[in-house]
């Protein structure tokens, strides 16, 4: 319900982008209250605890309200005027460029930034800084699914159908998604599926709250989803369940993909994954007996050094069974961050130009260069991927502008990344709070938040949404767009970097026109009137595209491509020194690096700190009791957190959430092995050893 005094908007956090309304209170301590908003179809008023408490981060008690500059005499960050802070950033970037060349200046963005910001950040890097060195945290999130989408379908949109289709399909295989904790209001789609008689299969090494809802739960060893999908495809062939007509009419490459699957015998797959053959057969029967089916993946199978091939294997299963390019069927990836979808479309990715164009495609360069009023040759080429960029800091890349990420907590091999950040000649961070990464900066720029600025977000369904400014920001903060506008001016670009979001969006429309992610027909007004518009939407008269691929896939010839894949091991396997598998992920009450949610009392009460989840049998072998401190040691380092003993996890695996800094930082342990195609790090599998700490033992590191 919204009345005149409330403003309809969307949650600042995850890719569901739940609708909510805000009622301004006029007090700096808590500037707004959340009011239920039922007219947005995705969540119909429901919110998780993070969304409900989001206004707490708007409080002047926890946020940054003035720029900070590091003083050479004290070495400390101290308050400064905006003029001084911006001049220091412009100087730092200019000096590095003069001394070491344009590619010595890097930019790191985020999938929580609005489309307007992501677009402007990419343009700022390529034009103002003339650097190729830009990437963003979305590389850690959905890049493997994006690469697999491109390979198979010729286009990457997380979900090719709206969430409302899920309850009407026959069977959903949910692979490595803990939706009940990561997108709680979306659980409704799965309960409705079951109410309608549909089946749910969940693939997760842990019996999560989501897995508890499943008709069938498969619990593979982390890092073995590729073998699991191949084993299912093997059975599909062996049992004569291939949709030959669909394969013939709509796909290419089946023979090679089939051969790959046939070399993975179910018994062999059981040995690799730990999933018994009868359960594998049951999964195939549930999936193939239904009239229609979907496979949805999230970070479990994607955040692996073979994530692209793994998603490819699940897509192959969909294609072989005719569960793609048809109503109520298909493969989809559940994108994670608020603008995880739009953030990957408009040019903050190392190899990309707006509209999901490729930076190395001459036609794409010519189109975007014309919109930007520059010569195509002046655009730099593709740069390093996120982890490779962080790893190059202090070496070839000597200054960094960071907007919308907290890699000290969220990057793999985090102690190393923290060291690289410290070794920079110059670091500028724009953030809403003093994150662990902002603490290392030479200049910190305090920026406005979701409720205080206008901009568009594209949710996991490809639905472009608008958040209108609902509150007046505190006097000392500026928007990211104002920051980039001012910096561009100081670096000699008076024009081309407007601070007004709608002006940026109008340019983004033109830059995206004709590209794969075409926003040309979308306007702020249309989004408001239609409660979101699905891309591609090439002209104002076009209705938008909620469902993709029904007539043809987005490849040149309209046919989907099977990709031949075979199983391979994780980059780091267990051995005598590191005998246990570590996997990592999320809990319901904290968000990402925790920079925002660790500042909310109610969320901290619910999820106060890190823990190591382990099976009672493993705990017994180690002699560790519930709540006792446990050191987890990998080849990258050591983390310490209390044990949480539960029979819901495999006995050969431990799980740590990654939301905290300090001694319990999970990413101290994580292996930065990269997928060769997507450059996604292997967040979900590495080898560790566990060392119980005697009470009072302070050997944390």
Ligand X SMILES: Nc1nc2c(c(=O)[nH]1)N[C@H]1C(S)=C(S)[C@@H](COP(=O)(O)OP(=O)(O)OC[C@H]3O[C@@H](n4cnc5c(=O)[nH]c(N)nc54)[C@H](O)[C@@H]3O)O[C@H]1N2
Binding site for ligand SF4 (CB under 6 A): 11, 13-14, 16-18, 43, 47-48, 50-51, 183-185
Q: Which is nearer to ligand SF4, 51 or 110 (CB)?
A: 51
Q: Which residues of 261-273 are buried (b: 16+ CB within 10 A; e: fewer)?
A: beebebebbbebb
- Of ligand X, Mo ion, ligand SF4, none, which one sits near residue 51, judging by CB under 5 to 8 A according to partner kind? ligand SF4
Minimum CB distance to ligand X, residue 187 (Å)? 11
Report the 10 Å Cβ neighbour count for 627: 11
Spatial contact of 108 and 135, defined as CB atoms under 8 Å apart: yes
> Minimum Å distance from CB 52 to ligand SF4?
7
Near ligand X by CB under 6 A, which window of 134-142, 187-195, 265-273, 622-630?
134-142
Window of 18-26, 133-141, 416-424, 632-640 that interacts with ligand X by CB under 6 A:
133-141
The nearest distance, CB 438 to ligand X, in angstroms, is 7
Contact by Cβ (8 Å): 100, 129: no
Among 88, 203, 364, 368, binds ligand X (CB under 6 A): 203
Q: Is 613 in the site for ligand X (CB under 6 A)?
A: no
What's the closest the beta carbon of residue 670 comes to ligand X, in angstroms? 5
Cβ-based neighbour number of residue 197 at 10 Å: 8
Task: Please tell me the distance from the alpha carbon of residue 693 to that of residue 629, in angstroms, as a whole number.
Answer: 6
471 in Cβ contact with 31 (< 8 Å): yes
Residues between 337 and 356 that touch Mo ion (CB under 5 A): 337
Q: Residue 332 binds which entry of ligand X, Mo ion, ligand SF4, none, with Cβ cut-offs from 5 to 8 Å by kind?
A: none
Q: Answer with the entry of ligand SF4, ligand X, Mo ion, none that 175 interacts with (C-beta below 5 to 8 A by kind).
A: ligand X
- Residue number, 592 or 653, with CB nearest to Mo ion: 592
Q: Which two tokens stand for residue 39?
A: 């007219």
- The site partner of 53 among ligand SF4, Mo ion, ligand X, none (C-beta below 5 to 8 Å per kind) is none
Closest among 501, 502, 445 to 477, alpha carbons compared = 445
Residue 336 interacting with Mo ion (CB under 5 A): yes
- On the CB side of 249, how many CA atoms lie within 13 Å of its CA? 12
Q: How far apart are CA 220 and CA 269, in angstroms?
A: 10
Tell whether residue 17 is a contact of ligand X (CB under 6 A).
Answer: no
How many whole angstroms separate alpha carbon 227 and alpha carbon 223?
9
Give the H or E element holding residue 620: helix 616-622
Find out whether 431 and 110 touch, Cβ atoms under 8 Å: no
Choice between 233 and 386, CB closer to Mo ion: 386
- For the record, the structure tokens of 275 come out as 């999933």
53 makes contact with ligand X (CB under 6 A): no
Q: Which is nearer to ligand SF4, 47 or 313 (CB)?
A: 47
Residue span binding Mo ion (CB under 5 A) among the ranges 172-180, 222-230, 253-261, 333-341 = 333-341
Residue 337 engages ligand X in binding (rule: CB under 6 A): yes
Give min distance, CB of 266 to ligand X, in A: 18
Nearest to 402 by CA among 458, 361, 451, 348: 348
Question: Of 141 and 471, which has the nearer Cβ to Mo ion?
Answer: 141
For position 501 contacting ligand X by CB under 6 A, the verdict is: no
Residue 119 within binding range of ligand X, rule CB under 6 A: no
| 597: Cα within 13 Å, side-chain hemisphere | 29
**Which of residues 187 and 285 has its CB atom nearest to ligand SF4 in the complex?**
187
Q: Does 141 bind Mo ion (CB under 5 A)?
A: yes
User: Which 357-376 residues touch ligand X, going by CB under 6 A?
Assistant: none
Residue 430 in contact with ligand X, rule: CB under 6 A: yes
90's enclosing H/E stretch is: helix 82-100
- Phi/psi at 279 (5° precision): -70, -35
* Contacts with 646 (C-beta within 8 Å, 6 or more apart), sequence order: 613, 614, 615, 616
Q: How many CB atoms lie within 10 A of CB 699?
A: 11
Q: How many residues bind Mo ion (CB under 5 A)?
A: 3
State the maximum Cα–Cα separation within the chain, in Å, rounded to a whole number.
75
Query: Does 482 contact ligand X by CB under 6 A?
Result: no
Nearer to ligand SF4, 183 or 444 (CB): 183
Cα angle value 383/388/391 (rounded, 5°): 130
From the list 131, 130, 39, the residue with the least C-alpha distance to 465 is: 39
Q: Which of 185, 274, 300, 347 is close enough to bind ligand X by CB under 6 A? A: 300
Q: Residue numbers of the site for Mo ion (CB under 5 A)?
A: 141, 336-337
Q: Residue numbers of the site for ligand X (CB under 6 A)?
A: 14, 110-113, 137, 140-141, 175-179, 181-183, 203-206, 208, 222-223, 225, 298-301, 303, 336-337, 403-407, 409-410, 430-433, 435, 447, 480, 583-586, 588, 590-593, 595-596, 655, 658, 666-667, 670, 683-685
């Amino acid at each position: 319900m919204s009345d005149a005094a409330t403003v309809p908007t969307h949650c600042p956090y995850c890719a569901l982008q739940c609708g909510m309304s805000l009622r301004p209170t006029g007090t700096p301590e808590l500037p707004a209250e959340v009011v239920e908003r039922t007219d947005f179809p995705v969540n119909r008023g429901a919110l998780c605890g993070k969304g409900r408490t989001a206004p707490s981060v708007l409080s002047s008690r926890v946020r940054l309200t003035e720029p900070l500059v590091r003083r050479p005499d004290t070495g400390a960050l101290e308050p400064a005027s905006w003029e001084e802070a911006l001049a220091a950033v412009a100087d730092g970037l200019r000096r590095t460029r003069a001394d070491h060349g344009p590619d010595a200046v890097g930019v790191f963005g985020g999938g929580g930034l609005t489309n307007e910001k992501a677009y402007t950040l990419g343009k700022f890097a390529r034009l103002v800084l003339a650097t190729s060195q830009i990437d963003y945290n979305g590389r850690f999130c959905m890049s493997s699914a994006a690469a697999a989408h491109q390979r198979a379908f010729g286009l990457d949109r997380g979900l090719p159908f709206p969430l409302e289709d899920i309850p009407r399909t026959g069977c959903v295989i949910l692979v490595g998604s803990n939706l009940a904790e990561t997108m709680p209001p979306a659980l409704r789609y799965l309960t409705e599926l079951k109410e309608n008689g549909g089946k749910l299969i969940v693939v997760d090494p842990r019996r999560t709250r989501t897995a508890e809802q499943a008709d069938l739960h498969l619990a593979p060893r982390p890092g073995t989803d590729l073998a699991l999908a191949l084993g299912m495809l093997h059975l599909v062939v062996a049992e004569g369940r291939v949709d030959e007509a669909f394969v013939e009419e709509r796909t290419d490459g089946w023979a090679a993909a089939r051969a790959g699957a046939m070399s993975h015998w179910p018994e062999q797959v059981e040995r690799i994954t730990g999933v018994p053959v009868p359960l594998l057969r049951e999964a195939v029967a549930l999936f193939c007996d239904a009239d229609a089916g979907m496979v949805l993946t999230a970070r479990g199978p994607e955040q692996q050094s073979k994530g692209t091939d793994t998603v490819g294997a699940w897509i192959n299963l969909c294609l072989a069974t005719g569960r793609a390019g048809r109503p109520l069927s298909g493969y989809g990836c559940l994108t994670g961050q608020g603008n995880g979808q739009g953030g990957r479309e408009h040019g903050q990715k190392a190899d990309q130009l707006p509209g999901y164009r490729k930076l190395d495609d001459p036609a794409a360069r010519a189109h975007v260069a014309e919109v930007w009023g520059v010569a195509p040759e002046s655009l730099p080429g593709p740069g390093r991927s996120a982890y490779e960029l962080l790893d190059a800091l202090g070496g070839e890349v000597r200054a960094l502008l960071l907007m919308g990420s907290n890699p000290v907590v969220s990057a793999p091999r985090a102690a190393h990344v923290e060291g690289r950040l410290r070794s920079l000649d110059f670091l500028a961070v724009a953030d809403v709070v003093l994150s662990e990464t902002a603490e290392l900066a030479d200049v910190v720029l305090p920026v406005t938040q979701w409720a205080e600025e206008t901009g568009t977000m594209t949710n996991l369904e490809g639905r472009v949404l608008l958040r209108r400014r609902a509150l007046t920001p505190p006097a000392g903060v500026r928007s990211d767009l104002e920051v980039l506008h001012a910096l561009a001016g100081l670096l000699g670009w008076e024009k081309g970097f407007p601070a007004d979001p709608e002006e940026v969006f109008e340019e983004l429309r033109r830059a995206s026109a004709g590209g794969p992610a075409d926003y040309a027909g979308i306007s702020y007004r249309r989004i408001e009137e239609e409660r979101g518009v699905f891309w591609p939407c090439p002209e104002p008269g076009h209705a938008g595209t909620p469902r993709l691929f029904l007539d043809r896939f987005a490849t040149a010839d309209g046919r989907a491509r099977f990709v031949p894949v075979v199983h391979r091991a994780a980059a780091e396997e267990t051995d005598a020194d590191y005998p246990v598998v570590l996997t990592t992920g999320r809990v319901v009450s904290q968000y990402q690096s925790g920079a925002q949610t660790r500042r909310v009392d109610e969320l901290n009460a619910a999820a106060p700190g890190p823990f190591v989840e382990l099976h009672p049998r493993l705990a017994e072998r180690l002699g560790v009791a519930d709540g006792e401190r446990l050191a987890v040691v990998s080849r990258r380092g050591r983390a310490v957190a209390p044990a949480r003993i539960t029979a819901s996890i495999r006995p050969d695996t431990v799980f740590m959430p990654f939301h905290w800094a300090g001694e319990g930082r999970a990413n101290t342990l994580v292996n930065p092995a990269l997928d060769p195609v997507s450059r996604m790090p292997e967040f979900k599998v590495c080898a560790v050893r566990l060392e119980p700490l005697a009470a009072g033992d302070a050997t944390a590191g």
